[in-house]
Structure 1
């Protein structure tokens, strides 16, 4: 069935190119990622790609230029956004060019990357952009040929009228189309007629990436700019004194700048900066709590036992349920701080000149960088420009603007353009980390094995709400109490891929397996029984779609051959996050007494899949990320500094440790939902539950390899 969406003339902005005959179409999307437009020819846009601010253009040559407002950090939005526009436009994908937009809050409403929200947020507006452009082109063709518009056919950038034999490409109708009035209603395609959406399309930046063309912040260079590296204070410390004489004496060093709790060395290239930074003599003194990992263990225990908790959800009467329980199952799970570890370390360029500032670099939140710069400099935000480069990873780290702020401080101090570059040690020691969290779960079981009571208490280090109180199994249990406690730590934290759920999912799904084992139920059937209860007789608010979750559970059990081969020990996990549902089955075979992680099967319901190639990469990447950090990675602190300073001690997953991964997608009929993050949360639980099935060892802390329960398990990985 075709969809009709209303678009007022206020939403639609149409401007005719007076010089080159270009047609530009854009929207004020209010709550979506949509721009208004400025007139520029395609040639001008391509020649001045860093200064455009239109959304969609069509040139007299028939080429279509689509501008991507959201920062691209590997989530493939720079490819999938244009695919949606091109679909409704019925463009020839081979004639589509994609350009990264710069920050412009007048033309773009939500110009950020985070929370796996860009596609679900922009889906309808992207379609409307393409469909409205096609409507105007068809109207122009109908007038030019003097034929009814409804008889005109558009396919792959060609407009034709079968009855008269007239035919032409988009560019032939641009000038006339620009004089037409945009409709208040525009008809969208029936999804069954999609030709671009749902097909595998390679990354639009692929050629530039594998040929080494400059795309990333680290690639950026401007003649005459200075370089800088920064020494940052340990967490909880401030500067007492600075002796920079030896650093200033290094050839190639032009300045040393002290600001806040940081000291920057400035020079003409990065190599002398590395040497000079090591020669800085900075003495620190406490400025609050200076924490070590031993402190965190004590704090967790104290707060879990008697901390004042915020009640996030309360259903029924938990006290009575646990008092009358035939059996109570209790377990605690803990996760460490983690760094984000993007492949590209933080970097940013700033040029402060009088009451103006130019910023260039990799950021997930360009407006945050601009706002921070305005506050530092005391100038209006409109005097600051931000050019967005492609990001070499982010995972939430580049939601912060601290590294951009450093560039602004230094440029202001030296009155010159400067590029700040972090090295790997800076990335691990000066970052904003995933919060460390501890959870306590309790389940009250009646005599028949039904879970009638459920309690969850989370304690986090600068974690905010440590729970997702309306997620499963809430709604499936009569008596529920979910609480959260936050400890204000001097260690800065930040959203880390799939915030909170990246660990909470592992803990919840492992605990549900413990409960299933206690009542002698198959883990999949135990979950399905709870889900059916939530469907037929829900308790309180449901924050998830029961049918979609049931769908991925059943499909994963089928695709993963759950319980079919007694020689294969399996672990199951399912989770809802960022509007999507992912279930996973991990397979372990025991050979010669050695457990071998053979395969992970993943089933994802993220609504309609725009680009199967990108979707497959996102799921596989999420699984590798989830597995690696659950099994291997840890960040510990001593006197306010991480003990792990580089990859020789900060353990990441290696290529040989990645098992076979099989991906499947459920077409639930929904519009696209999130995909950059949802595949990560279930992975740790699936693997931990499979390890238990194979060894009888329950892993309640991450990373697994550092737990005593894992110490004598020689887990091998069978690569695909």
Structure 2
């Protein structure tokens, strides 16, 4: 038998260039454009093309390739891919011909360069479409002028302009001429049915650089002459710096300078290791100003607030007091959540170089405009002096909204007269954070003749939590006598936005409460919610934010896809639905018992976020939000003792582990409505769905997070 040997056409040189010995093993890689065919041509190297400015968002090269600037900060929510997709769709250019560039902060060219509240796509949708469509029309107008025909006789598709005579011109051939034309005021946008790019899967534009370790993140940034900075901060909230001794610090190899600023001390060195080692060698004396708070104190304070009558009423419908007075039965429950740190994978960091000519800033920041303005004020500089470049962020979750680390870098550079990069250690990140506030909710419902006639939600929070729209979310409008009231305690512990602010814990509390109400009323939990939504459908109350119709459709989709109520033996289902950040989400969690302990095996999520720009990215966002919600609801615990955080690193702070992550199945409600946010809405219902499934499995209700702590306490109580 004759054997035929097929050769790959890969030269030894190309093979050796693409292969490497690592850790004693052979890692084989092929150049995909030369491995199969020795004469194959590589694709166009977009990075080496000469682009001509077209507008603030678009540059077009003479061969028709397009560079699109993504204006908003990228924290993993996918906007660096999705926002340029929206422009490219209306511009009608092939996605493979697009190079995406992270724009710098520029308040003249761009509006709302913010990553927060899951608003980037929602707020940018119309403007980005208009940008792409306007550019396309200008290109068509330029081609029509060159041919001497009316623009109405021309069409543009996939980067090529055609006329009725069959003549064609590429975008690059008319880009310069088009950029000089008057900008048309009214342009035609595509109908959703005409989309060819939006709604298709696009790979994250940074994926290759992420997996190959190319510099993208703030921690990757380096500049000539830059010194690394580690900052000694107060060891507890409520303490002030009295004095410090840096003699040993200055003997550490690599340490160059030590500076005090406010109640902090900066150690400047030639490496992060030297800076952090130098900081540990500092001797500092601190004093307390006022009381140093502990979690036990907060618990008593929040209970006291809930028991008092001094509340701010955020919304009140009907006569709540009478509804409770006339009720056949009243159900009242209290729910508690702890402080939580953000724990971004990439610790806080920022680069600053303050000179008489300019203030150059580079790093991961969710709020470039606010941060630039604060730094200008701090340094007594004109805001036009500030040049801020945004890097990709290794997580944000609200922590990088505040920019305290950027202000530190600017102040230290201004003192030292050198370029510096402030780098937090994980301990810095966890002990000097801006935490999710500790909260207690007390929810009370009046039941009369088998119906919910009254509802009162009271919130007590450290430093405040609920504002604005939250009182107008579900179940507002569903219950005739409805009241939401809030009060807070001012603390020295810094608190702020944490992924899905306001709703991240409230959704668990309310959705758990409604399951308990369903049990009282002998109704299926899904059916109870659907019945309540009938009261708000078609409502004329403009304050109500969610849509009864859209929530109903989302709930039905989740129940259908999860086979609600038909789980096989040994699988326990829990349901939750919530509206937040303009998006409706319903989730069904499935729990099994292993050695008597609950394990979440699957979550089915249904989502109405309007038009889905990039399905792959959208699914990833919901999956990430669900896992984040489950992990923190099950395990997240953080406390304070005498103003000092209880945990400093992951050896004592519990996160969800790989083997504990369930499968997350995502389904989208199909419609042609404008898109809404996805970075946060998947998180709030997750805790409620899991808690309701745990009840089905163990007949134990969850009233506090983390659930593992409450389950342990419940088990110990039963044993005793």
Instruction: State whether TM-score is above 0.5.
Output: yes
Alpha carbons of structure 1 residues 347 and 154: separation in structure 2 relative to 1, 3 Å: same
Q: Secondary structure at the match of 1:534?
A: coil
Residue of structure 1 equivalent to 2:335: 333
| Preserved contact between residue 478 and residue 539 of structure 1 (Cα < 8 Å) | no
Q: Where do 5+ consecutive residues of structure 2 fail to align? A: 1-43
Q: Residue 519 of structure 1: CA displacement?
A: 1.1
Summarize deviations over 1:38-75 as a string: whole Å, max 9, x none: xxxx99997999x9993111121211111111111101
Residues 355, 315 of structure 1: CA spacing in aligned structure 2 closer, same or farther, 3 A cutoff? Answer: same
CA distance in 2, matches of 1:676, 1:537: 28
Counterpart of 1:512 (choices 504, 511, 514) is 514
* CA distance, structure 2, for counterparts of residue 53 and residue 272 of structure 1: 45
In the TM superposition, residue 375 of structure 1 has moved relative to its aligned partner by 1.9
Q: Would you say 1:585 and 2:579 are equivalent positions?
A: no
- Is the CA contact 2:294–2:643 (under 8 Å) kept in the aligned structure 1? yes
| Corresponding residue number in structure 1 for 2:667 | 664
Correspondence for 1:174? 175
CA contact (8 A) 1:477 1:539 kept: no
RMSD: 2.2
Aligned to 1:634: 637
SS in 2 for 1:433: coil
Q: Which moved more, 1:582-591 or 1:460-469?
A: 460-469
Select 1:437's aligned residue among 397, 418, 439.
439
The range that moved more, 193-202 or 102-111, is: 102-111
1:242 aligns with 2:238: no
1:161-310 correspondence to structure 2 within 5 Å: 161=163, 163-233=164-234, 234-306=236-308, 308-310=310-312
Residue aligning to 2:313:
311
Residue 62 of structure 1 aligns to a residue whose secondary structure is: coil
Q: Choose from 619, 622, 625 the match for 2:622.
A: 619
1:684 and 2:676 matched? no
Give the Cα–Cα distance (whole angstroms) in 2 for the partners of residues 282 and 449 of structure 1.
65
Aligned to 2:66: 64
Instruction: List alignment gaps of at least 5 residues for structure 1.
Output: 1-41, 714-720
Structure 1 residue 181 displacement after superposition: 2.1
The alpha-carbon deviation at position 143 of structure 1 amounts to 2.5
Instruction: Provide closer, same or farther for how the CA distance between residues 667 and 513 of structure 1 changes in structure 2, counting only shifts above 3 A.
Output: same
Residue 647 (structure 2) aligned to one of 640, 644, 648: 644
d(CA) in 2 for partners of 1:285, 1:48: 60
Q: How does 1:530-609 map to 2 (within 5 A)?
A: 530-535=532-537, 541-565=543-567, 567=569, 568-590=571-593, 595-609=598-612
Give secondary structure in 2 for the equivalent of 1:185: coil
Shift of residue 102 of structure 1?
0.8
How big is the shift at 1:420? 0.5
Alpha-carbon deviation of 1:539?
A: 7.6
1:28 maps to none
Q: 2:138–2:183: 8 Å Cα contact kept in structure 1? A: yes
Stretch moving more, 665-674 or 327-336: 665-674
**Match of 2:479?**
477
Q: Which residue of 1 aligns with 2:352?
A: 350
Summarize the Cα distance change of 1:52–1:174 in structure 2 as closer, same or farther, 3 Å threshold: closer
Q: Cα deviation per residue 1:322-348 (whole Å; 9 max; x = unaligned)?
A: 111000001000111111111100001
Report the CA distance between 1:528 and its aligned residue. 0.6
Secondary structure, in 3 states, of the residue corresponding to 2:69? Answer: strand
Distance 1:538 1:112, change over 3 A: closer
Q: Distance in 1 between matches of 2:371 and 2:477?
A: 40
2:376 alignment partner in structure 1: 374
Identify which range, 178-187 or 507-516, moves more after superposition. Answer: 178-187
**Structure 2 counterpart SS, 1:140:** helix
Check 1:104–1:47 CA distance in 2 against 1; reply closer, same or farther (3 A cut).
farther
Distance 1:426 1:307, change over 3 A: farther
Structure 1 stretch displaced more, 147-156 or 250-259: 147-156
- Structure 1 residue 623, shift from structure 2 partner: 0.4
Q: 1:363 to 1:330 in 2, by over 3 A?
A: same
Cα drift, residue 669 of structure 1 = 2.5
1:392/1:595 Cα in 2 relative to 1: closer, same or farther (>3 Å)? Answer: closer
Aligned residue pairs: how many?
Answer: 669
**CA spacing shift, 1:360–1:53, aligned 2, 3 Å:** farther
Secondary structure of the 1:495 match is coil
Equivalent position of 2:31 in the other structure: none
1:80 is paired with a residue of what secondary structure? helix
- TM-score of the superposed pair, with normalisation by structure 1: 0.90
Contact 1:61–1:171 (Cα < 8 Å) also in 2: yes
CA distance 1:599–1:710, change in 2 (3 Å):
farther
